[in-house]
Amino acid sequence: MKSLIEKLISTPGPSGYESQIREVVRAEIEAFADEIKVDALGNLIARVGSGGKKIMLAGHMDEIGVIATHIDENGFIRFSNIGGVFPRYAPGGRVRFLNGPLGVIGSEQLSDPYKVPTLDKMFIDVGATSRENCPVKVGDVAAFERPFTDLGQRLVAKAMDDRIAVAVMIAALRQLKNTPHELYFVFTVQEEVGVRGATTAAFGIDPDLGLAVDVTLTGDTPKGVKMEVALGKGPAVKIKDAGLLADPRVVNWMVETAKSAKIPYQLEILEHGGTDARAIQLSRAGVPAGCLSIPCRYVHSPSEMVDLGDVENAVKLLVELLSKPVTLAR
């Protein structure tokens, strides 16, 4: 699992530019799927089984990034965000453009050195000395650059959001022996810019039930977010986030399955942020939907942290959920 996670987070794939990570995922799953296709927006869709309920699983392949908007006469690059790039994490960070150049994010000198600069006060330095010898042009896209770090039980990397869920889905697909359902493992694109991939994929699949797999915040750091989720206490079953009220029947299905299989779990209410589950729930005439969440510290920073036990238990719970018939009471 660790080597898979490292491979996934090391492959760049900002929103809208997921071609490299899509090919890595395809190579990991093609031997285990009955059918694989890529839709018009770039979602990778793997079907397993036939008959029974049509269940859509969604984990997004894309990550936050930046896009070059202007190069000045000295070769410094102004940029805009792709997805939720938090200014407090950016200065001193490193990015790698998809065409190769590595750069460091710098900032204009502010009158208050303790104030966090906004993105429009920042620039990327790739070592160029002029606009002419800058290897980056307007429109070039970069992902954050930070190596995978193994702390034993805890794993740290950029893009755990949502490559850790991609890893969970790949592992579950490999471990699933049989299913009474028609499963669609959808590795979605452009989640970070408005759940766009899940929107089109859900419309095309028209599932009977939907389940996103994504990270969630934790409330276990000093004076951090006030929420019940903590690292090491199991995957979380989402009840609510800013874009979703999970179907209570789906929540009950997930909770009862975890209890029956003796898998540790937590209940999650996330006040800010959302997932692909929102797009699935609102597709066509509506879909019962929920979300399996992996607790993650420092989300949307270059050093997101997860617990290996939570990851492994998320795989176990997903396999249990998909291996047995599902009946949702009306």
Dist. CA 22–CA 13, nearest whole Å: 8
Dist. CA 19–CA 23, nearest whole Å: 6
DSSP SS3 for 78: strand
DSSP string, 258-290: HHHTT---EEEE-SS---HHHHHHTSTT---EE
Is 320 designated active site? no
121's CB contacts (< 8 A; 6+ apart) are: 107, 108, 110
| Active-site entry in 6, 191, 192, 304 | 191
Kindly state the tokens that stand for 180. 């009474």
Which amino acid type is present at position 279?
Answer: A
Strand-pair category, 77-82 with 65-71? antiparallel
DSSP SS3 for 35: strand
Question: Dihedral, CA atoms, 51, 56, 61, 67, nearest 10 degrees?
Answer: 130
- Comparing CA positions, the residue from 43, 81, 41 lying closest to residue 64 is 81
Read off φ and ψ for residue 227, nearest 5 degrees.
-155, 160
DSSP SS3 for 291: strand
Read off φ and ψ for residue 94, nearest 5 degrees.
-115, 145
Kindly state the tokens that stand for 244. 């979703």
DSSP SS3 for 202: helix
Kindly state the tokens that stand for 284. 């066509």
DSSP string, 140-185: -EEEE----EE-SSEEEETTHHHHHHHHHHHHHHHH----SSEEEE
* Catalytic machinery residues: 191
